[in-house]
């Protein structure tokens, strides 16, 4: 275990990108932990007691104390397991740390949210608007990577940092979208720097070790879409 002490338990759901975010952080830190798969249709007493506010995964339980929300969990792990031998995710400089937190929020609140809107919009117009917002967010994120990385391989510079993990959490869903629809969020014409970043990140051993099976995720998305369609049809009838 790289720095820090105590027992770690992660409550999660295998297909969740936010759970993957925590798994990535644990993997890069080289930390051992117990993983508990949660049925979100029948939430366990442990989950409800550990996250009574949102009742969602991921939840990291460290020595019996729960920490909720993926971005907060990654920051927590970085602070607690900060031994010299362990990689650090957030910059030391306060301004650079604040910048990293800002862009991590952008990834979730703007980029990922617009992507969901494009995929789950109830009308063609909603989906088109979501796609337009997604591409605008990609362009903004491309500029942020250019500025923050300063020509180095990752947001974190020469090694993976907080923002690489924040964005990398969406990797499995990006690959799933490509398999199912031939759709690439990042490509050479629109976002060449991010395209290379994702390719680089996806080959790292720490990422390969925790990335969910893409074929399984493809089937999962098909089932979820069928369930949503059936529920919508039942409402309309």
Q: Which residue in 88, 89, 143 sits closest to 111, CA to CA? A: 143
160 shares a domain with 132: yes
CB 112 within 8 A of CB 161: no
Window from 39-43, 86-90, 204-208 with minimum mean pLDDT: 86-90
74 shares a domain with 163: no
202 shares a domain with 150: yes
**pLDDT reading at 197 higher than 80:** yes
Q: If DSSP codes are grouped into helix, strand and coil, which group holds residue 68?
A: strand
Tell me how far apart the alpha carbons of residues 24 and 203 are, in angstroms, rounded to a whole number: 13
150 shares a domain with 100: yes
Tell me how far apart the alpha carbons of residues 151 and 28 are, in angstroms, rounded to a whole number: 22
17 shares a domain with 120: no
**Residue-wise DSSP of 197-224:** HHHHHHTSHHHHTTPPPHHHHHHHHHHH
Tell me how far apart the alpha carbons of residues 197 and 58 are, in angstroms, rounded to a whole number: 25
41 shares a domain with 120: no
170 shares a domain with 73: no
Whichever domain contains 66, its CATH number is 3.40.30.10
Whichever domain contains 185, its CATH number is 1.20.1050.10
**Domain coverage including residue 192:** 94-214
Whether 1 is covered by a domain: the verdict is: no
The better pLDDT of the pair 224, 175 is held by 175
60 shares a domain with 105: no
The number of distinct structural domains making up the chain is: 2
108 shares a domain with 193: yes
The whole-number pLDDT of residue 83 equals 77
**pLDDT reading at 1 higher than 70:** no
Share of the chain above pLDDT 90, in %: 86
113 shares a domain with 161: yes
Whether 199 is covered by a domain: the verdict is: yes
**Residue-wise DSSP of 111-164:** IIHHHHHHHH-SSHHHHHHHHHHHHHHHHHHHHHHHHHHTTSSBTTBSS--HHH
Q: If DSSP codes are grouped into helix, strand and coil, which group holds residue 12?
A: strand
209 shares a domain with 104: yes
Instruction: Calculate the CA 47 to chain-centre distance.
Output: 20
Q: Is the pTM of this model over 0.75?
A: yes
Domain boundary among 50, 80, 110: 80
């Amino acid at each position: 275990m790289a720095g820090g002490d105590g027992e770690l338990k992660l409550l999660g759901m295998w297909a969740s990108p936010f759970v993957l975010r925590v798994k990535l952080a644990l993997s890069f830190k080289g930390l051992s932990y117990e993983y508990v798969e949660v049925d979100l249709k029948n939430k366990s007493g442990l989950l409800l007691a550990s996250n009574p506010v949102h009742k969602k995964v991921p939840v990291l339980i460290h020595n019996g104390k729960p920490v909720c929300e993926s971005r907060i969990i990654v920051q927590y792990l970085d602070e607690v397991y900060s031994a010299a031998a362990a990689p650090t995710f957030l910059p030391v400089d306060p301004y650079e740390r604040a910048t990293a937190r800002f862009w991590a929020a952008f990834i979730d609140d703007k980029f990922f949210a617009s992507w969901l809107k494009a995929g789950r919009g109830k009308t063609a117009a909603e989906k088109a608007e979501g796609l337009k917002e997604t591409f605008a967010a990609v362009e903004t994120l491309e500029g942020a990577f250019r500025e923050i990385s300063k020509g180095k391989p990752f947001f974190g510079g020469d090694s993976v940092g907080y923002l690489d993990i924040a964005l990398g959490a969406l990797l499995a869903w990006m690959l799933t979208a490509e398999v199912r629809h031939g759709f690439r969020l990042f490509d050479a014409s629109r976002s060449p720097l991010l395209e290379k970043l994702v390719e680089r990140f996806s080959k790292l051993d720490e990422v390969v070790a925790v990335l969910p099976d893409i074929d399984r995720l493809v089937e999962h998305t098909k089932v979820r879409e069928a369930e949503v369609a059936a529920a919508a049809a039942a409402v309309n009838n």
